[in-house]
Amino acid sequence: MNQPFSGFSKLSKEEKINWIAATYFTTPEEAVALLKKYWNSDAKIQKLHDEFIENTITNFYIPLGVAPNFLINGKYSTIPMAIEESSVVAAASKAAKFWSTRGGFKATVIDTEKIGQVHFTYKGDVSKLELFFAQIKSTFFTDTENITTNMQKRGGGILDIELRDKTNLMENYFQLHATFDTKDSMGANFINSCLEQFANTLKREAQQFDLFSETEKNIQVVMSILSNYVPNCIVRAEVSCPIEDLEEKHIPNPISFAERFVQAVKIAEIEPYRAVTHNKGIMNGVDAVVIATGNDFRAVEAGVHAYASKSGQYSSLSHAKIENGFFTFWLEIPLALGTVGGLTSLHPLVKLSLEMLENPSAEELMQFVAVAGLAQNFAALRSLTTSGIQEGHMKMHLNNILNQFDATEEERHQVKNHFKHHVVSHSGVVNFIESLRQ
């Protein structure tokens, strides 16, 4: 197949699958059978999933797990996590249990401001543009009333609009930089609709502004779009306890553990290579809850990593200290999340996940997500600074290897028994299975 297929999206699902199978697979019947095996037997649910995107051919499973025993601000919760990486839910659950007997997690929403921008070019006298903006600023609000009325009823809306001169970065480049409160919705559609109206208002009003020359009237809007960088939509999650309380089976010497832990965080603060992996561990927890609750993990990822670079150097999102005999570990991350709109009322498992979290507000969801990120980071650093990460990872990975080899129940039993007392490695497990089979 080395030519474009025009009209592919107009084919029926069955036709799409048949074409793909015939074009790319040596055994088309097997490919078709596999794709269909993953269809939902409930036609209504399947139709829902088919319509989420274009050209759906089947469903792609990711496990939905739960991490119980999360004590957050004095209340226990079970956190749903959608993720394929074997050790993540186990690590979150362990960290939750650990902190549940040490005061639990504290989570606070610091701010919830969202941002959108109209990027435009203007050639002319900047002071005239500033005067023009000051005169028409209220029109941006009145022109968007039909969009903002409902949001205002819920207590949100447009917070402010600023004119920003960016000509030091690009010739003739200016912005309308607007801030929003979108309450329990992530707000992407609301913000983008407001911005597109701002752009129309800007162009219309410029034509009517008497002080502008003909060139100045010719404002060109390049684009209008929300920003996924939300440095003022921040949540903080924290754990803290007297150092001696850190003691447990795997932490016989809590003082040296706490010191090493703080050093590990410090390394992530000063060393970008480590910071990226450190933050990846945080995002293991963050993304899993963001996906389970139907939020946009790409938006969250982009915004979080931009935030991690806000000093000009990519750095750790979490921090740790030892002060007056107390160990404190915390993170602050930007999270633009919604618990209404988008997938939240459409995807049955998203609805279920939100119900499991007792139908949180967007602010409460920000807290759950940040706590899951901190728990994950704690679990990773605890392993890294004590036994090393591979012990736990490989134990969890054992199942994947057994599945890869289609191991029988008896083989699984023998392998698990053997590796209770031996270091798990991929080749070690493979050799052991092969020896069983000889």
**Would you name the residues annotated as active-site residues?**
85, 280, 296, 393
Residues 392, 91 contacting (CB under 8 angstroms): yes
> Minimum distance between the CB of residue 377 and ligand MEV, rounded to whole angstroms?
7
> Minimum distance between the CB of residue 94 and ligand MEV, rounded to whole angstroms?
13
Residues 293, 337 contacting (CB under 8 angstroms): yes
Q: Smaller CB distance to ligand MEV: residue 104 or 392?
A: 392
Q: Smaller CB distance to ligand MEV: residue 21 or 286?
A: 286
> Minimum distance between the CB of residue 281 and ligand MEV, rounded to whole angstroms?
3
Q: Smaller CB distance to ligand MEV: residue 85 or 271?
A: 85
Q: Smaller CB distance to ligand MEV: residue 278 or 397?
A: 278
Residue given tokens 């497990």 in the structure block: 429
Tell me the C-alpha distance between 303 and 183, whole Å: 19
> Minimum distance between the CB of residue 317 and ligand MEV, rounded to whole angstroms?
11
Residues 282, 374 contacting (CB under 8 angstroms): yes
> Minimum distance between the CB of residue 232 and ligand MEV, rounded to whole angstroms?
27
> Minimum distance between the CB of residue 284 and ligand MEV, rounded to whole angstroms?
5
> Minimum distance between the CB of residue 91 and ligand MEV, rounded to whole angstroms?
8
Quick one: three-class SS letters along the chain?
A: CCCCCCCHHHCCHHHHHHHHHHHHCCCHHHHHHHHHHCCCCCHHHHHHHHCCCCCCCCCCCCCEEEEEEEEECCEEEEEEEECCCCCHHHHHHHHHHHHHCCCCEEEEECCCCEEEEEEEECCCCHHHHHHHHHHHHHHHHHHCHHHHHHHHHCCCEEEEEEEEECCCCCCCEEEEEEEEECCCECCHHHHHHHHHHHHHHHHHHHHHCCCCCHHHHCCEEEEEEEECCCCCCEEEEEEEEEHHHHCECCECCHHHHHHHHHHHHHHHHHCHHHHHHHHHHHHHHHHHHHHHCCCCHHHHHHHHHHHHCCCCCCCCCEEEEEECCEEEEEEEEECCCCCECHHHHCCHHHHHHHHHCCCCCHHHHHHHHHHHHHHHHHHHHHHHCCCCCHHHHHHHHHHHHHHHCCCCHHHHHHHHHHCCCCCCCHHHHHHHHHHHHC
Q: Smaller CB distance to ligand MEV: residue 198 or 378?
A: 378
> Minimum distance between the CB of residue 252 and ligand MEV, rounded to whole angstroms?
22
Q: Smaller CB distance to ligand MEV: residue 217 or 278?
A: 278
Using alpha carbons, list the distances in angstroms from residue 47 to 30, 44, 54, 110, 295: 23, 5, 12, 40, 21
Binding residues for ligand MEV (CB under 6 A): 85, 277-278, 280-281, 284, 380, 384, 389
Residue, CB closest to ligand MEV = 281
Q: Smaller CB distance to ligand MEV: residue 343 or 396?
A: 396
Q: Smaller CB distance to ligand MEV: residue 85 or 363?
A: 85
